[in-house]
Amino acid sequence: MVIFDLDGVVYRGLDPVPGAAQLINSLHQRRVRVRYATNNSMASREAYVERLGAMGIPSSVAEIVTSTSATVGYLRHHLPEARRVMGVGSPAMIAELQAAGLEVIPVADVTHPGYQGEPLTDRVDAVVVGLDQAYDYLRVAVAATAVRDGAAFIATNADLRYPTPRGFLPGAGSLVAAIRAASGGVDPIVVGKPEPNMFAEILEDAGVEPAAAVVIGDNPDADILAAHRSGIFSVLILTGVADAATADGLAGDRQPDVVVAGHAELGRLFDEWLS
Tell me the DSSP string of 135-157. Answer: --HHHHHHHHHHHHTT-EEEES-
pLDDT at 13: 82
Q: What is the predicted pLDDT for the residue at 121? A: 47
User: What parts of the chain have a pLDDT lower than 50?
Assistant: 115-117, 121
Which residues belong to the active site? 5, 7
pLDDT reported for residue 112? 62
Distance (Å, rounded) from C-alpha 192 to C-alpha 161?
14
261: CB partners within 8 A, 6+ apart: 237, 238, 244
pLDDT at 122 (0 to 100):
53
Coil, strand, or helix at residue 222? helix
**Coil, helix or strand for 190?**
strand
* Segment 226-261, tens digit of pLDDT: 999 999 999 999 999 999 999 999 999 999 999 999
CA 11 vs CA 4, 8, 31, 143, 228: distances in Å: 11, 6, 22, 34, 23
Residue in 104, 101, 105 with CA at minimum distance from that of residue 80? 101
List, in sequence order, every residue forming a beta bridge with 189; answer none if it has no partner: 154
Compute how many other C-beta atoms are within 10 angstroms of the C-beta atom of residue 212.
13
The answer to whether 199 and 233 have CB atoms below 8 angstroms apart is no
Residue type, 161: R
Task: Decide: helix, strand or coil at residue 230.
Answer: helix
Peptide bond preceding 188 in cis form (omega within 30 of 0): no
- Set out the domains of the chain in order of their start, with CATH numbers: 2-39+194-274 (3.40.50.1000), 88-189 (3.40.50.1000)
The candidate with the shortest Cα–Cα distance to 193, out of 28, 36, 19, 31, is 36
